Structure 1
């Protein structure tokens, strides 16, 4: 039996949750997922954080970062150049700093 991409992602996360992981690094976690599976993933990330886990999401999709993160960090050549609160910063501002490599910290 083949599992969908969303179900595969859920199983991988469930394994770490069962083991009691307090730090999760999710690299492009929604790649290949449908809209419903993405929403499930974001709810799970939110619940994990609410339960005290530290969750780091690395993504090239700005919409994903807005859905899953309470802080957005931009790195350029291995250095943190910007930090934003997605609740108070529009996507155009973040894209500008990302594309131009400009430093900014809230």
Structure 2
């Protein structure tokens, strides 16, 4: 299990425990965290679960797969380094303390 901090665009923080094996997107969905819409349900077919990963976490996450890279082209104001789709980040003990911030909007 990992404790993950989700920060809304306005700065409001939500710190929740997310079970191993779920995705960061499922952790947001299951805890009613606003700002992650996840329209495709985690199929990496949209960009509505886009977040900015805290800078100190960028190098600790697995690299983006080509499909995620393609979908990020459709995200609102993607950051070339920090943007990720939360449906593509699988939770494990190694992610304990992860911090992600939602963009102003999802598109």
Higher relative CO (CA 8 A, sep ≥ 6), structure 1 or 2? 2
Shorter-chain TM band:
under 0.3
More helix by share: 1
